[in-house]
Amino acid sequence: MSTDPPPLQPPPADAPKERWRAWARALRRERVDAETGRRVAQALAAWDRYRRAHSVLLYLAFGAEIDLAPLLDDRGKRVLVPRSHDDPEPTLAVHELAGATLRRHPFGPLEPAASSPAVDASELELVVVPGLCFDRDGYRLGYGRGYFDRFLATLAPGVPCVGVTLDALVVPRLPREPHDVPVTHLVTESGVRPIRAPRRSRAAPPST
């Protein structure tokens, strides 16, 4: 008889976001390891649109996030990473990773210092987005501050936005708010998949 614990069941679709976050964190802690990160990074690196892109926004993983560290050293690309700021409201700036001075944000992740070389978001050819979980329409559950939603809403139409997650953390539907911006693709340990629903571009940013 198997001694594996039973799978964690997702909340109902209409459950509060905090309940969804607790579920996603627990399942992610159970499932994410170095091998998972390696498989997800390989799947993204093999994708033709990733291979064609030169200026790519990645992220510096923290906690139990899927770590795409192998891609951060890709010398064939201009690797960019986000820096959060809150003036006048929470959003992200884009910085070159090469030569950047990294600092620890109060919430935990490493990110470039404000003095590091900045890049206009219009130069991005592909954006890779972390999240606690995603739904089949590309909507993302983050940590609740709205940094990525505000940032994604400013991108030009046609820029691929790839959510990074596990197959087990892709659910039929997440709670949504008017300011939420879906990604265009998902990458998991199984590969890259497109989102069928069209991405809303230049949406109004959240007011709170």
pLDDT in the model for residue 65: 95
With CA atoms as reference, report the closest residue to 168 among 14, 36, 3.
36
pLDDT in the model for residue 18: 95
**Stated pTM of the model:** 0.89
pLDDT in the model for residue 7: 56
pLDDT per position in the chain (208 positions), as tens? 444 554 578 999 899 999 999 999 999 999 999 999 999 999 999 999 999 999 999 999 999 999 999 999 998 999 999 999 888 888 999 999 998 999 998 888 899 998 998 999 999 999 999 999 999 999 999 998 889 999 999 999 999 999 999 999 999 999 999 989 999 999 999 999 999 865 554 444 443 3
- Compute CA distances 161 → 9, 57, 180, 181, whole Å: 28, 9, 14, 10
Residue 53 and residue 67: Cα distance in Å, rounded?
Answer: 20
pLDDT in the model for residue 90: 87
**How many Cα atoms within 13 Å fall on the side-chain side of residue 173?**
8
Query: Which domains can be identified in the chain, with CATH numbers?
Result: 20-194 (3.40.50.10420)
pLDDT in the model for residue 25: 95
**How many Cα atoms within 13 Å fall on the side-chain side of residue 196?**
3
pLDDT in the model for residue 119: 95
